[in-house]
């Protein structure tokens, strides 16, 4: 079948403003949107810029707006979106070129929540033991691949790019509820700040956008409760 691909194009070094270009491609129902982008780049227009790596939904580098919805280009098939496909960069981030956005502010927010185990207690002789129940407490949020689909689908983030955003809070959740970690208080204090978790109004766009099916809004709710009650169970 023939697919029409409409792609956002912008080269700030040359273009006064963004525009869209349209490409026609022969495709199968089971082709990924990423396959189509690759075909455009390799067969029609080598100047097209986009990020990709694993092509299997693991690296998180190809989150894009596909027909207006944030998705990983490698996890969306032609049969999911039809034969007229519009591909745009994530909203709320500045465009470096075409579909590539500047992820640095996103990773700055990620660094704020100290995404590593904090524990200054003396090391036990073996490992820091954790029960299966304790591990299960934060299992869902370990699945995050930092694709930014959640944060860039959030109206609070569109309103202010300073809002720390759901992705950083999901990663904070992963450590706050880890029984081996001792840094929960400092993370919760950070998230309780002006651009922290209270900018979340439970809109659920983040949960809908997450390609890993993480219950993002639920995780944010648990972090809010921990701030209010001071309890980490
Ligand atoms: Fe991507 Fe989901 Fe992680 Fe958000 S929570 S960055 S959507 S994997
Ligand atoms: Fe790695 Fe899509 S290319 S997640």
Q: Whose CA is nearest to atom 6 of ligand 1?
A: 146
Work out the angle at residue 164's Cα, subtended by the Cα atoms of residues 62 and 61, and round it to the nearest 5 degrees. Answer: 10
Strand residue runs (E) in the chain: 2-9, 19-26, 63-66, 69-72, 84-88, 95-97, 100-101
| Centroid of ligand 1 to alpha carbon of 151 (angstroms) | 8
What pLDDT, on the 0 to 100 scale, is given for residue 200?
Answer: 97
Choosing from 51, 64, 146, 154 the residue with most ligand 1 atoms within 8 A of its CB, the one to mutate for a pocket test is: 146
Look up residue 173 and give its two tokens. 């959740």
SS3 for 102?
Answer: coil
Query: How far, in Å, is the centroid of ligand 2 from the Cα of 155?
Result: 24
CA separation for the pair 224, 218 (Å, rounded): 10
The end-to-end CA distance of the chain, in Å, is 53
List the one residue out of 211, 213, 175, 220 whose CA is nearest residue 63. Answer: 211
Report d(CA 8, CA 68) in Å as an integer.
12
Substitution candidate for ligand 1 out of 168, 214, 217, 218 with most atoms within 8 A of CB: 214
* pTM for the whole structure: 0.95
How far apart CA 152 and CA 77 sit, in angstroms, is 22
pLDDT of residue 221: 98
198, 151, 81, 78: CA torsion to nearest 10: -150
The CB density around residue 149, as the number of other CB atoms within 10 Å, is 27
C-alpha pair distances (Å), 65 with each of 85, 174, 181? 10, 27, 36
The number of residues making up the chain comes to 233
Q: What is the pLDDT of residue 123?
A: 87
Helix ranges, 4-144 (H): 33-39, 78-81, 104-112, 132-136
pLDDT, one tens digit per residue, over 73-111 is 999 999 999 999 999 999 999 999 999 999 999 999 999
Q: Do residues 6 and 87 touch, judged by C-beta distance below 8 A? A: yes
- Which of the listed residues 144, 148, 204 should we mutate to test ligand 1's pocket, taking the one with most ligand atoms within 8 A of CB? 144
Query: Which regions of the chain are under pLDDT 50?
Result: none
Closest C-alpha among 36, 29, 28, 27 to residue 7: 36
């Amino acid at each position: 079948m023939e697919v029409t691909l409409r792609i956002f194009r912008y080269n700030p070094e040359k273009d006064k403003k963004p525009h869209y270009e349209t490409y026609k491609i022969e495709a199968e129902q089971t082709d990924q949107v990423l396959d189509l982008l690759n075909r455009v780049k390799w067969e029609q227009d080598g100047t097209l810029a986009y990020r990709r790596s694993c092509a299997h939904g693991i690296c998180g580098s190809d989150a894009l707006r596909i027909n207006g919805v944030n998705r990983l280009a490698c996890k969306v098939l032609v049969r999911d979106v039809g034969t007229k496909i519009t591909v745009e960069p994530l909203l709320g981030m500045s465009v470096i070129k075409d579909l590539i956005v500047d992820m640095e502010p996103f990773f700055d927010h990620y660094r704020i929540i100290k995404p590593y185990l904090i524990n200054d207690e003396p090391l036990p002789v073996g490992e820091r033991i954790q029960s299966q129940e304790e591990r299960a407490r934060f299992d869902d949020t370990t699945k995050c691949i930092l694709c930014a689909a959640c944060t860039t689908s959030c109206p609070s983030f569109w309103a202010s790019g300073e809002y720390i955003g759901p992705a950083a809070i999901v990663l904070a959740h992963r450590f706050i509820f880890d029984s081996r970690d001792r840094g929960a208080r400092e993370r919760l204090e950070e998230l309780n700040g002006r651009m922290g978790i209270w900018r979340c109004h439970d809109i659920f766009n983040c949960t809908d956008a997450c390609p890993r099916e993480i219950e993002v809004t639920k995780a944010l709710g648990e972090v809010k409760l921990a701030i209010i009650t001071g309890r980490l169970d």
